[in-house]
Structure 1
Amino acid sequence: DLVIALGGDGTLLRVSRLFPRDVPPVVGVSMGTLGFLMPIHQNEVVPLLRRVLDGTGSSDAHAASSAAAHVSPSPPSPLSSPSVPVLIRSRLTCTLFDADGQRLPFPAADAAQPGSAVGDAYALNDITLHRGPHPHLSTITCHIDRAPLTTVTADGLVVSTPTGSTAYALSAGGPIIDPRVPCLGLTPICPRSLSFRPVLVPADAAITLGVARWSRGQPEVAVDGLRIGPLRRGQRLVIEASACGIPVV
């Protein structure tokens, strides 16, 4: 019914990986070096838990998960009054396809999550393509809902949730997005271009990334900072808002 996470922001990312589908309400207690996503201090835990266990809290469905027509609600919260607001933080799901449109499993074992479909991975912050240790820039194609957006030669791309807009995407020059705004961010990493700038798309859009045939580099895929393997020529990475956000107290 409830998850109590003690630590820093990385602890919340770990909780996200443990629950690829429905997520119980999460009480995030800041005990690490960075508590941007963990708003509760140690001296606030006992009074908060009393209100939660007494049923005097409520779910704040400020939905950052996606557009209302696209996203199914998260599991019911045990909280039931405005005294304990709950923010639904959106997540991403990504699926890997080959040139024939067949789903592929991600190669790294740490990307596999219990109950997830083959080829799916989930992220609270972001999914990135990056050239990694390779010396050459990668040429990446980008489509939004199957319509071509751009082809960019860069160190990589970051697809982020509003929560992830203050992580890697911010360092790459992306905008800060309020977590209640239903959208996805697309931010280039050091592009060799004067025209490609960060882009925001609706939360119900599907972002498809691929590697151009003439690309000299082969980018690596990372989910919330965890490397899960290369994206090869002919493969496609389809990224969408997950139907299940994370309710955070």
Structure 2
Amino acid sequence: MSEPAPSFEKIAFVAASTPEAEAARERLVSRYGKASDDEADVIVALGGDGMMLQTLHAFRGQGVPIYGMHRGSVGFLMNTYREDHLPDRLAAAVQVQIHPLMMEAVDQDGVRHRAPAFNEVALFRQTYQAGKLRVSIDDKVRLDELICDGVIVATPAGSTAYNLSAHGPILPLGTPLLALTPISPFRPRRWRGALVPDKGRIDIAVLEAGKRPVSAVADHYEVRNVVSVSAQLDVASSSAMLFDPDHGLEERILREQFVY
């Protein structure tokens, strides 16, 4: 016997701080009502991918699914915006569970910073000099010295974001891999990155940190002047995203690989 379709009677709407998104929220609230965040069966996020990331972080671990509709500049993670038949669309939507990376960064003062990232953990040079990094996976050094502008550790959900712009691979959802992608590598010049099992821990040590300062970013959270960064999938934490059956994230990921 198949399970009954979920019921999303109580809908909470959140919107990016743009006139377009705010106007859409007002129209939808007048049509479908407005539940509080605490009592909502589903969160409808209006905006672009940045708004979706903010919403994923805001409701991480709370068990409420998030359905995005595109009212922003970039909408890879968003469904097409339509105001009609929203409860029916929500009931028919496909649910995808995603886990964030957990970044732990240590700065030059020895302070430890922890932050989750649904898209990527990235390191960037802070000055005109390239960063010099050592890359280890599960305590085994894989690159003694990587000289580059930075490096990205991307999840499958984030593989089509900055990772793709840096010529990293696209990872379909459900793939048990992370993308490790350099940004403008100088040495080794021919190294273009690696695919890492998502059960592994990636450790990046910043060499010559005083001379070549590096910052670390987990989605929107930045730490300056880091000396080491680790990234590992947080399997104990997850968020649910809802996609229209004919416009799911897996279909978008496949489509992106055949665009020239």
Q: Residue 49 of structure 1: which of 87, 97, 114 is its match?
A: 87
The 5 Å alignment of 1:127-138 reads 127-132=121-126, 134-138=127-131
The structure carrying a bigger helix percent of its residues is 2
Paired residues of 1:173 and 1:198 also in contact (CA < 8 A): no
Report the TM-score when normalising by structure 1: 0.72
Which stretches in structure 1 are left out of the alignment for 5+ residues?
58-82, 107-119
Which stretches in structure 2 are left out of the alignment for 5+ residues?
1-40, 243-260
Counterpart for residue 228 of structure 1? 223
Which amino acid in 2 is paired with 1:203?
D
CA-CA distance at 1:22 after TM superposition: 4.1
**More displaced 10-residue stretch of structure 1: 32-41 or 181-190:** 32-41
Counterpart for residue 198 of structure 2? 203
CA-CA distance at 1:90 after TM superposition: 3.2
Larger of the two Rg values belongs to structure: 2
SS across alignment from 1:179: coil
CA-CA distance at 1:97 after TM superposition: 4.4
C-alpha distance in 1 between matches for 2:162 and 2:63: 24
Q: Residue 237 of structure 1: which of 225, 229, 234 is its match?
A: 229
> Of the two structures, which has the highest relative contact order with CA contacts closer than 8 Å and spacing of 6 or more?
1
SS across alignment from 2:129: coil
C-alpha distance in 1 between matches for 2:209 and 2:225: 16
Distance change (3 Å), C-alpha of 1:127 and 1:23:
farther
Supply the RMSD in Å over aligned alpha carbons: 2.2
Paired residues of 2:107 and 2:224 also in contact (CA < 8 A): no
Q: Residue 138 of structure 2: which of 141, 145, 160 is its match?
A: 145
Cα distance per residue 1:78-100 (max 9 Å; x no partner): xxxxx32111233211113479x
The 5 Å alignment of 1:1-249 reads 1-43=41-83, 46-50=84-88, 52=90, 57=91, 83-97=92-106, 104-106=111-113, 120-132=114-126, 134-150=127-143, 151-192=145-186, 193-213=188-208, 216-232=211-227, 236-243=228-235, 244-249=237-242
Aligned-pair identity in percent equals 29
Which amino acid in 1 is paired with 2:239?
I
Paired residues of 1:154 and 1:188 also in contact (CA < 8 A): yes
Which amino acid in 1 is paired with 2:75?
G
Cα distance per residue 1:53-83 (max 9 Å; x no partner): xxxx4xxxxxxxxxxxxxxxxxxxxxxxxx3
CA-CA distance at 1:246 after TM superposition: 2.2
C-alpha distance in 1 between matches for 2:67 and 2:123: 31
Aligned length: 198
CA-CA distance at 1:141 after TM superposition: 0.9
Report the TM-score when normalising by structure 2: 0.69
C-alpha distance in 2 between matches for 1:241 and 1:205: 8
